[in-house]
Amino acid sequence: MADPVEREPSARELAAIEREWPLIAADLAVLDAEITILAADAAGQVSDLAWRRLANALTQARTARPLSIRPRRSRVRRTA
């Protein structure tokens, strides 16, 4: 058997990566937006555009995540 570090991915593994790619791309967009905000915050210049970009990336990531692994929302009870 070949060394697992040196072998090429199988067709099944490549297909799994292809299926997961929208989530991977969405998570990368969230990370990029967060880094932008952190860098701008260090300079004291976080723009509204940066916050909107993060919000859009979070929505994209939430949408890309399969229903089976989405965290359950906790119900908030309103008191009178």
28-49 per-position pLDDT tens digit = 999 999 999 999 988 888 999 9
Closest CA to 50 of 62, 61, 36: 36
The distance in angstroms from the start CA to the end CA of the chain is 67
Phi, psi of 56 (to 5 degrees): -65, -40
Model pTM greater than 0.75? no
* pLDDT confidence of residue 15: 93
Residue 48 pLDDT: 93
Distance CA 65, CA 29 (A): 14
Residue 80 pLDDT: 43
**Cα(14)–Cα(21) distance, integer angstroms:** 10
Alpha carbon of residue 50 to chain centroid: 16
